[in-house]
Structure formats: structure tokens, C-alpha cells
Copies of this chain bind each other. A is one copy, B any other.
Amino acid sequence: MSGNSFGKLFTLTTFGESHGPALGAVVDGCPPGLALSEEDLQFDLDRRKPGQSRYTTQRREADQVRILSGVFEGKTTGTPIGLLIENTDQRSKDYSKIKDQFRPAHADYTYHHKYGVRDYRGGGRSSARETAMRVAAGAIAKKYLRERYGIEVRGYLSQLGPIAIESVDWDQISENPFFCPDATKVAEMETYMQALAKEGNSVGAKISVVASGVQPGLGEPIFDRLDADIAHALMSINAVKGVEIGAGFDSVAQKGTEHRDELTPEGFTSNNAGGILGGISSGQDIVAHLALKPTSSLRVPGRSIDVQGEPVEVITTGRHDPCVGIRATPIAEAMLALVLMDHSLRHRAQNADVRVDTPVIPAQS
């Protein structure tokens, strides 16, 4: 396919199937001299890994990552970083039933038609299990961005099915299994998820990611605009159906006087732009939202066809997340970090000599 690499200067290439022996990745383009250990990667991997609560898949994977190259005496050397996670808890026989069937809303049908062959065990390559490697690579980017530029990339669940958050308290996010920043909504979410599990159904979610501390200047118009690359990155995550920057779809009904973020020496007066103007970071927080569809593997029977084109009723009994959005926060953070890392390197390649006297105004007044 040759579509398994992301980034131009800081490049992530991944491989591996849900029920194969291992997942792996190569991170190419990491500057030398960054202190890096497996623990640095494990933190985010543990945030994403399955089986952490009753609201995610019960598959048990340690998701223990090994660094196979590119680090010497505790520091990156500038050579490619090889990463490996062994799969340990496959139950491939769960999937023999759907071997010849296409789950509605799943990649089964399209992989079958594209490749003529598919690894049906756990979704094969189309499984969200692949995102573990994005999280591992994203952790490298996050660390570099933090240490070199003071950029912080964070995210949260902003809506779970019908339940939208009403406030953001960054300290709450790690206190509940939903990455929910609004403590007042957690109980409601728990109740909702329990009812959903009983039903054998699934639901969608909305995630928000924010990068703060970003200097003005990142982004390479006109096609490799920062917002375009963020949209690419976030839409490449399994189950994502929509991406917004800043005010997003609210911009449609806004007037110019309402949308525009005015500039004052004390800061911007608002952030409808989501930190990006003309495809280039403005120095405000970069804010993006993504919509995730409900999981397609359901216990509720659905109509479909089999490989002969005959109608069948499909029921999925493997272990699945009833809401893929719940574990998506660290993945979205990782993808945003990868984009910012790549653009930080690209920016300094071409604009290393630029000196600007105009003061950078604060993110927000």
C-alpha cells in the first residue's frame, strides 16, 4: 500500500496486525541528543491500553514497548528508532464466524474488495490496535516539543454519545476512565455505558486536543498548511468522521465581526481560529475537535452479505470497545504531536535565518 508512513521530516512508519505476532514502527528523523527511554513511551501507551476499565475491551495486552535502535547511552543518535510491541492476548478463533461475512460499518467489505484477501482475525490491519504505535511515536514527539520548545499537547473527551461536557478542568482528566475533564458528568457517563453494554450496542464520541506554547510560524502553505496536516492526521485515526479547527462548523453561521479574533498588545481577544491563520500557527493555543463514530462490532444483529454476495445476519462476539472514543484521547494527542514535531523541523529548515522585530503577542488577553 505504501500508505503506512506519516510525516515529511519526522516520519512514522508502522506495521502489524491485531492478531499477528507483533506491532512495530520506525520513527525516522528524530534529532540527536534527546534523552529517551522505554518508560518515556510507556506512560502514554498505558493510558491507551485496553482492559483498564470495564468500559473498554477486555483484551489484556501489556503493550510493553521495546526500543530496538536509534538510542545510545540513553540519548537519541539521529538514526531511526525501531519500536516493537509483541501481541500476547490474541483469541483468533473468536473471529472464525465472520471470516466470510462483512460486518456493517466495518472495513471488512472494503479490504476484501481492495486486496482480494484479508486477515479477518480481529480486523487485521484495520484494527485500532495499530494505534498503539502512533501513541509510542507521539510520546517521542511530545517529549521533544516539551523540552525544546515548551509546547504541551493535551486532550480530553468532550462528548460521549449524547453527554457533552460543560467545563474543562485539566486535573480531572486522569481521575476517571473516560478522559473526561468535567467531574460532574462522570457518573452520567458510567450509567450510560452500563446501559449500552447491556444492550450490546455502541456509541460515538467527540475528542478535543489542544497544543499550548506553540510559537507563531509553523505550517507550510499552501498545501502543507498546518491545519490541513492536522486534519489529515486526525482523520487517519480509526472511526473518525469529522475534524474541526477552532470554531469549526460554528464558523458557518458566524459573521466576520463575530468570528475574527482581534489582536491587542495584551493578546488575542478570542480564539475562533484555533490558533491557525492562513495555515500557519499564530501563537495561540492550537485547538482541534474530532468526531468518532460508534464501534461497528455489535452484539445486536445486523443485515449484511457474505463473500458470495448472499444476505446474512451478522452478530459480533469478539472483545470490543463499546465506544472507541474512550481510548482515543491519547491517540489524538499523539497525532497532533507528530504534526507539530514535523512542522517544527520543517519550519527551522527554511526559516532559520528569519529575524522579526515585531513582538509576539500573548496567546489570549
Contacts and interface: CB of A to CB of B under 8 A. Distances in A.
Interface in A78-119: 78-82, 84, 102, 104-107, 109-119
Contacts of A8: 2, 8
Most chain B CB atoms below 10 A, which of A23, A70, A216, A249: A249
A203 B296 contact: no
Contact of A352 (B107, B252, B276, B352): B352
Contact of A264 (B1, B303, B350): B303
A80 B125 CA distance: 9
A115 B350 CA distance: 9
A310 B347 CA distance: 27
B257 A20 contact: no
A298 B257 contact: yes
Quickly give the copy total for this chain.
4
Interface stretch (A47-55, A170-178, A220-228): A220-228
Given A15-B69, A351-B31, A251 B261 contact: no
Contacts of A148: 353
A113 B265 contact: no
A235 interface: yes
Given A251-B291, A294-B255, A351-B114, A235 B225 contact: yes
Interface string A288-327: 0001111110101011110111110000000000000000
Contacts of A202: 255-256
A299 to B, nearest CB: 10
Nearest to A7: B2
A166 interface: no
B292 A251 contact: yes
A350 B354 contact: no
B104 A260 contact: yes
A8 B32 CA distance: 20
Given A5-B13, A349-B348, A269 B303 contact: yes
Contact of A346 (B9, B26, B107): B9
A17 interface: yes
B263 A109 contact: yes
A24 B234 CA distance: 28
Nearest to A217: B114
A289 to B, nearest CB: 8
A126 interface: yes
A277 interface: yes
A135 to B, nearest CB: 14
A277 B350 contact: no
A244 interface: yes
A213 interface: no
Nearest to A20: B69
A136 interface: no
Contact of A309 (B111, B224, B310, B359): B359
A142 interface: no
A265 B114 contact: no
B24 A82 contact: yes
Contacts of A16: 68-69, 82
Contacts of A257: 201, 298, 300, 302
A354 B221 CA distance: 28
A203 B255 contact: yes
Per CB-CB distance, the 3 closest pairs between chain A and chain B, nearest first, are A107-B278, A3-B220, A3-B224
